[in-house]
Amino acid sequence: MSDQDFANTSDPLGSPKAGLSSDLDNLAAYVSSLTKTPPSPYRDAGGVLTSEGLAGRAVFESRRCGFCHSGSSFTDGKRHDVGTVKPSSGLGIGQPLAGVGFDTPTLKGVWNTAPYLHDGQASTLEDVLNSDEHIIGDALSAAEMGQLVAYLLQIDDREAAPAAVPVPSSSPWDLIVLASIFAAAITGIRMRSNRLKTIPTSWERPN
């Protein structure tokens, strides 16, 4: 590829480089051929989910993980902000990443792709799931954590695609924020109510 061709196609979202370099064309063809996920070694000998994996699938469904990780590739192909954006994360398509987030990664073969998150800040799946922004609802119990991790480690091409999960909000994390605000409001009302109970009424004479 000539320097001029490289300069003309330097924008990742601009003109394609296809046909300008045989090496790049061959590399692109090879990467495009990588469509299969290696079988997970965490499954039973017969290639089926373990009992822990089956329990983890139920946790996956009940916690609405399919809101982001759905379809045959276990990803909705969208971008989500799950609280991992840092000043050092840079920009995405020339725009700040806060509130936009990163592309949802596939869960296929996740047993072999540590460390996790866009900058590798999570060494284990437990580290990912311990993030408040990554779980809808209450924190996972120790049993749920173990089961969900067991399931994630067993996801490969043999696992059926999870259905997309509709959430009545722009994102599940909006629901968490709204729930927190509502809880704070209720707490404030109760505190004010308790204070009012201690105020003597007009027909009561304080001691």
pLDDT in tens, 116-133: 998 888 999 999 998 777
Same domain, 95 and 150: yes
156 in a structural domain:
yes
Please give the residue range of the domain that contains residue 22: 3-32
Find the mean pLDDT for residues 73-94: 82
Number of domains in the chain: 3
44 in a structural domain:
no
φ, ψ at 52 (rounded to 5°): -65, -40
Same domain, 147 and 58: yes
Please give the pLDDT value at position 55: 98
Q: How confident is the model at residue 82 (pLDDT cuts 50, 70, 90)?
A: confident
138 in a structural domain:
yes
* 92 pLDDT above the threshold of 80: no
> When comparing pLDDT for 185 and 49, which is higher?
49
Q: How far is CA 177 from CA 64, 91, 144, 172, 205, in A?
A: 17, 25, 23, 9, 45
Same domain, 92 and 130: yes
16 in a structural domain:
yes
φ, ψ at 14 (rounded to 5°): -100, -140
Same domain, 146 and 177: no
pTM for the model stands at: 0.70
Same domain, 64 and 77: yes
Instruction: Return the DSSP state at 159.
Output: S
Query: Helix, strand, or coil here: 106?
Result: coil
Cα–Cα distance for residue pair 137/97, rounded to 1 Å = 24
Same domain, 60 and 124: yes
Q: What is the dihedral of CA 118, 123, 126, 132, to 10 degrees?
A: -40
Tens digits of per-residue pLDDT, 137-180? 788 999 999 999 999 999 999 999 888 777 555 455 555 544 44
Q: What is the DSSP string of 15-74?
A: S--TTS-HHHHHHHHHHHT---PPPPTTS-TTSSPPHHHHHHHHHHHHTTGGGTS-TTTT
Same domain, 125 and 59: yes
Same domain, 11 and 95: no
* 186 pLDDT above the threshold of 50: no
Same domain, 125 and 199: no
Same domain, 152 and 171: no
Find the mean pLDDT for residues 26-43: 91
Note whether 70 and 40 are within 8 A (CB): no
Same domain, 134 and 180: no
Same domain, 140 and 176: no
